[in-house]
Amino acid sequence: MLPVFVFDPEILGDLHNPEDRRVSFIYSALENIQHQLAERDASLRVVYASPVHALSALCDEYPITAVYTNHDYEPYAEARDNAVRSMLAKRGIEFHSFKDQVVFERAEITKADGRPYTIYTPYSKAWRAKLQLSGLPEYRSEDLLENIAKTSGVPFPELSAMGFNRVTFAIPRIDPDKEVIRVYHEQRNFPAVDGTTELGIHLRFGTVSPRGMVRLAQPLNDTWLSELIWREFFSMILANFPHVVTQSFKPDYDEIRWRNDDEEFDAWCNGRTGFPMVDAGMRQLLATGQMHNRVRMVVASFLCKDLLVDWRKGEAFFAKHLLDYDLASNNGNWQWAAGCGCDAAPYFRVFNPHEQLRKFDPDLRYVRRWLSEDEIQFPQPIVDHAFARNRALRVYKEALRGNESF
């Protein structure tokens, strides 16, 4: 058995920052694996090439009879895997793909008529019922280490050869604090408190097991378990409704006449809107690649509702900067904020950034980490929230007029 990791130029080509922390994170994780394999006189093969060309070359080099991988539900990934499958079939080589990054996938949780759920609450109830019935499988993948071929190490391609520089940054701990999980439901909404596990990057890149996290959550905190189920819900939505990548889940919302003011969007991107919680969140994102979940909801609502900027522009900006960027969750949460997604916040729900600050950062501890005192005490809002809210309601109503389902 030969373990292989392919750096795909198609994916890396969309990352325009040579110091993208996510690439360094993956590279470091691979080096860690390599170190562990070296102790067994084995090696990880890392290749920088299109997956089809990379695996074709390896098939020329080794007597490969089968290739094993895990499912990926993003449209590009599915097309990529189909191309690999086709190439291998022409060589008479088997291709096997397995469920790994979720507990229940695509069509494992469905309504009685076999259709996928589009509302979270009934999906969550069905997900929990199935988990109780089937239990959590254990995959003792470490047992497979005995089957790894004894090979000498082939040097990894240098990060510089792929257009990136190594970046060091504070990586969230891989073993979450159990006390944080126990009180998660009490602290999760307050960005000044270390009340979240920050496991997003590990779940995104597979350095922790989603099954292990569910197993950890069950006895500790049901609210935290619910967040893991939301992750699976959005993965299921993407797999069954791939049009959400570029379109609103609810097609009528694509009729909204977005203002898309470039100067206002730029102010939002750089944390210069004059709304302290919005600006603190965007400064945190730019500086660290992370943003507290409560703040994510506030900044997303502000962009879509107060500024009437297309949710896709905000989604793309988050995709560029978030360490834990995941297409399914990012897309699902942005459509939720904009009101156009499945089980989304109703269009008339508009977060008041002043009230959100008062409720969730009353002592200004969070915003003071990222803003100067003048920006907090003497903000210069780029829009009046009350005016913007009424404008948003009018524009949304005009787009949805005549559709009684909304």
Largest CA distance in the chain: 69
| Nearest Cα to Cα of residue 281 among 174, 356, 201, 383 | 356
Query: How much is the pLDDT for 173?
Result: 87
Across the strands, what pairs with 45?
Answer: 4
Domain with CATH 1.10.579.10 in the chain: 244-400
Expressed in angstroms, the distance from the first to the final Cα of the chain is: 54
* DSSP labels, 214-263: HHHHHHH-HHHHHHHHHHHHHHHHHHH-GGGGTS-SSGGGGG------HH
With contact defined as beta carbons under 8 Å apart, do 299 and 270 qualify? no
Query: How much is the pLDDT for 148?
Result: 87
The highest-level CATH class for domain 244-400 is mainly alpha
Query: How much is the pLDDT for 406?
Result: 40
Query: How much is the pLDDT for 25?
Result: 97
Q: What is the pLDDT along the chain (406 residues), one digit of tens a residue?
A: 899 999 999 999 999 999 999 999 999 999 999 999 998 889 999 999 999 999 999 999 999 999 999 999 999 999 999 999 999 999 999 999 999 999 999 999 999 999 999 999 999 999 999 999 999 988 777 787 888 888 877 899 999 999 999 999 988 889 999 999 999 999 999 999 999 999 999 999 999 999 999 999 999 999 999 999 999 999 999 999 999 999 999 999 999 999 999 999 999 999 999 999 999 999 999 999 999 999 999 999 999 999 999 999 999 999 999 999 999 999 999 999 999 999 887 889 999 999 999 999 999 999 999 999 999 999 999 999 999 999 999 999 999 985 644 4
- 306 vs 273: CA distance, rounded Å: 11
One-letter amino acid for residue 224 of the chain: W
Q: CB within 8 A of 126, min separation 6: which ones?
A: 109, 110, 117
Angle between helices 276-288 and 311-321 (to 10 degrees): 40
Query: How much is the pLDDT for 138?
Result: 80
Domain 102-138+177-240: CATH architecture, name and number where available: Alpha Horseshoe (1.25)
Q: How many CA atoms lie within 13 A of 328 on its CB side?
A: 28
* DSSP labels, 133-169: HH------GGGGGGGS---PPPPPPPGGGGT------
Query: How much is the pLDDT for 332?
Result: 97
Domain with CATH 3.40.50.620 in the chain: 1-98
Domain with CATH 1.25.40.80 in the chain: 102-138+177-240
Which CATH superfamily is 1-98 part of? HUPs (3.40.50.620)
Handedness of CA 284, 204, 106, 125 (dihedral sign): negative
| Nearest Cα to Cα of residue 311 among 276, 347, 263 | 347
